Structure 1
Amino acid sequence: MTFQVTIETSGHRFPVESGETILQAALRHSIGLPYGCRNGSCGSCIARLVSGEVHYPDGQPDALDGPQDTPDQVVICQAEPLSDLLISVREVEAERDVIIKTLPCRAEQLNRLSHDVMQVLLKLPDTERLQFLAGQYIEFILRDGRRRAFSIANAPHRDEYLELHIRHVPGGSFTGHVFDEMKNKALLRIEGPLGSFYLREDSPRPVLMMAGGTGVAPLKGILEHAFYIGFDRPIHLFWGVRAKQDLYMDELPRKWQEQYPHFSYTPVLSDPATQDHWEGATGLVTDALLAHYPELVAYDIYMSGPPAMIEAATPQFVSHGAQPEHMYSDAFEFAQDVLDKIKRTQQGG
């Protein structure tokens, strides 16, 4: 049986299916509600039940055991509706609403995806969850105070682990440690979520995505989120790597292309090996995108990858009509410097 939940403060409404919690349904319909542990312990997701009735299939959550709890409080990560509901709760609408945390975690699994890319699945303490927007990143805080940033490669609705794609950088002390020394269950410390690289869901514009190397990681998270919420605007992903062996998750976007009619995928090899027998696009991923879309004025553009790629692509895309306010990058600060240079050039400065 399906019930409707209405948020009093905004008027947003969404259906909750039988066996589904309020929070699960809200995330499925891209309604950003606050949460923490997702197991009913922390109280971060408590809302006020204005009207309606709920139940807790696994018993009353621990978050309702405090002396200041009131009968109208509802723990939305555990509560399932028994009727239509009206609730009062703060909504998470953008990165400014997401709480940045410093947390311990464990490298629960290390899976080699290719010769130089490691998938690292981070497990937070049982009482914690990291609420994030698809496309954001976390920073490892190393023992000497240094930090290393990596994008989150999974979508928020699938947050049992934080998925990272770490490429082995020759001479890199941290990535060398990940590949040569780190073991499963290794204890780490992170801060996040960080960044303004996330899907602008309220835009009516079609979407172009360009990734270089492991820059596909945050785009993977954004795409998983987009498919999950039923985002139906056209999306075209261009993924540039050196050779075929570097397309470490090539089967995933190919599967999406078959599954979702509005999604297209173009892998691009800059230096394919003879044994690749490659018949697809070659050269620079930027050129491949422009060959398909020489006029960019109507598009939202998401770029993720090496800063040099974004630095080179930004003025090219602007010269083809792309509007800076509709260009987003996980190297945002660096890209903003490029945009400032473009504006000064256009102004004769």
Structure 2
Amino acid sequence: MSHRVRIENTHHEFTVEDDEPVLAAALRHGLILPYSCRGGTCGTCMGKVVEGEIAYPDGSRPPALSEAEEAVGQALFCQARAVSDLAIEVREVRSAEDIQPRKLPCRVERVDELAHDVRRLWLRTPGNERLQFLPGQYLDFLLRGGRRRSFSLANPPHDDELLELHVRHVPDGRFTGYVFDELKERALLRFEGPFGSFFLREDSTRPILMIGGGTGFAPLKGMIEHAFHVGLNRPIHLYWGARARRDLYLDELPRRWAAEHEGFRYTPVLSEPEPDDEWEGHIGLVHNIVLQDHPNLAGFEVYMSGPPGMIAAAQRDFEKHGLDPANLYYDSFDYAVDPEEPES
């Protein structure tokens, strides 16, 4: 049996199933409520039950909810189950400013080899701790000497049991060298996040163009999977630029998206295909291929992530072709350098 839940302060509504936490149901419907631990111990997801009745597993009040708070209708929605239809008051996360970055330890759950120079890290945060983020944001690994290395989150917010990062090997890069040569499963790391204003805007009706260069695919992947999850009813066209075929390290994934989702298109672009690539697709700079397909960018919303040179060239040329700068969002993938040694 399911129940209706209405968020009084935003008028959003969703359904929650029997024995499903209210928070989990909201996330399932693409509504992002504040949370952290998901175990009832931090209080981040606290809100008020205005109408209806809730219950907690085993009938016990969660540790972060006091008796006085419960008496005035406060509830922890990561644990609360609906017993009837509900009307609640709770803050929704709508912008990066709504999420406070946190420092957390994590364990490397798995390392996948995606390409000759790309590894995918799967990270698990401790216990019931979860990192809340918007699709497209990034985290900083905290290294010795106060150094930081930034990597975009490639998983969507609703799929947050593990954090997914795509790490490209940088020649002589100290941290990426460690990832490729030494990092093992179950290794412990620390990070802070989420950060960044590069995230999917859902309150627009404009068709979306996404342009990724190399591992700039990572945040776009999170955005696209989030868009599919919430049923975003806007056309999305992904352009992914790489040097050769082997650098399109998850090429089969966007091809599958294009087959499964009517409103999604995928165009891979190679700048220097190898002879044995037998490439019959587009060749050139990815932003030039975008302009060939869309010579008038007025009315579009554009998301770009990749090398600084790609971003700068696209900014210059896209504005000449009618793109309103207010509708351009980008994340420049530069590389941090230590005085003695370059790093990723």
Q: TM-score range by the shorter chain?
A: over 0.9
- The one-letter code of the counterpart of 2:222 is G
Q: How does 1:179-198 map to 2 (within 5 A)?
A: 179-198=180-199
Report the more deviating stretch, 217-226 or 9-18: 9-18
Tell me the secondary structure at the aligned position of residue 139 of structure 2: strand
Q: Deviations over 1:260-312 (max 9, x none)?
A: 00000001111111111111111111111111111101100000011111011
Written as runs of structure 1 = structure 2, the 5 A alignment for 1:1-349 is: 1-57=1-57, 60=60, 62-64=62-64, 66=66, 68-71=68-71, 72-331=73-332
Cα drift, residue 57 of structure 1 = 4.5
Cα shift at 1:328: 0.1
SS in 1 for 2:149: strand
Contact 2:306 2:333 in 1 (8 A): no
Distance 1:190 1:155 in 2: 18
Matched residue SS, 1:24: helix
- Is contact 1:61-1:78 (8 Å) kept? no
Q: SS of 2:233's equivalent?
A: coil
What is the rounded CA distance, in whole Å, between the counterparts of 1:332 and 1:216 in structure 2?
Answer: 11
2: CA distance, partners of 1:59 / 1:330: 46
> Mind listing any 5+ residue stretches in structure 1 that lack a counterpart?
334-349
SS at match of 2:50: strand
Q: Distance in 1 between matches of 2:214 and 2:17?
A: 39
Taking every aligned residue pair, what percent have the same amino acid on both sides? Answer: 55
Deviation, 1:215, is: 0.1
Counterpart CA distance in 1 for 2:146 and 2:64 is 38
1:338 maps to which residue? none
Contact 2:65 2:75 in 1 (8 A): no
State which drifts further: 75-84 or 237-246: 75-84
| Deviations 1:73-105, CA, capped at 9 Å, x for gaps | 322122232211011112211111011111111
Once the two structures are TM-superposed, the CA of residue 62 in structure 1 deviates from its matched residue by: 3.4
TM-score, L = length of structure 1 = 0.91
- Alpha-carbon deviation of 1:56? 3.3
Instruction: Give the Cα–Cα distance (whole angstroms) in 2 for the partners of residues 283 and 245 of structure 1.
Output: 16
Hey, what's the Cα distance between the residues in 1 that align with 2:161 and 2:58?
Answer: 19
Aligned length: 333
Give the superposition deviation at 1:68: 4.5
Q: Which amino acid is 1:171 matched to?
A: D
Q: 265-274 vs 52-61, which deviates more?
A: 52-61
Deviation at 1:21, TM superposition (A): 2.5
Residue 63 (structure 1) shift: 3.0
Alpha-carbon contact 1:42-1:127 (below 8 Å) kept: no
Q: Match of 1:175, SS?
A: helix
Residue 22 of structure 1 aligns with an amino acid whose one-letter code is V
Q: 1:4 offset after TM fit, Å?
A: 1.5
* Separation (CA, whole Å) in 2 of partners of 1:222 and 1:256: 13
Q: 1:66 and 1:18 mapped to 2: Cα distance?
A: 25
Given residue 130 of structure 1, which amino acid in structure 2 is its aligned partner? L
Structure 2 Cα separation of the partners of residues 63 and 269 of structure 1: 54
Q: Does the CA-based 8 Å contact 1:6-1:86 persist in structure 2?
A: yes
Retained in 2: the 8 A contact 1:63–1:75?
A: no
CA contact (8 A) 1:271 1:282 kept: yes
Question: What is the letter of the counterpart of residue 263 of structure 1?
Answer: F
Separation (CA, whole Å) in 1 of partners of 2:18 and 2:291: 46
- The secondary structure found in structure 1 opposite 2:70 is coil
> Is the partner of 1:236 in helix, strand or coil?
strand
SS of aligned partner of 2:133: coil
Deviates more, 1:24-33 or 1:87-96: 24-33
How far does residue 15 in structure 1 lie from its aligned partner after superposition?
Answer: 2.3
Q: Report if aligned partners of 1:95, 1:195 keep a CA contact under 8 Å in 2.
A: yes
CA distance in structure 2 between the aligned counterparts of 1:214 and 1:58, rounded to whole angstroms: 45
Q: Call closer, same or farther: CA 1:58–1:67 in 2, change over 3 Å.
A: closer
Q: CA deviation at 1:2?
A: 2.8
TM-fit CA distance, 1:332: 9.8
Note if contact 2:65-2:76 (Cα within 8 Å) is conserved in structure 1: no
User: Partner of 1:330: helix, strand, or coil?
Assistant: strand
Unaligned runs of 5+ in 2: 335-344
Q: What is the TM-score when the length of structure 2 is the normalising length? A: 0.92
User: Does the 8 Å CA contact 2:308/2:333 hold for their aligned counterparts?
Assistant: no
Q: Which amino acid in structure 2 is aligned with residue 330 of structure 1? A: D
Q: SS of the residue aligned with 1:291?
A: helix
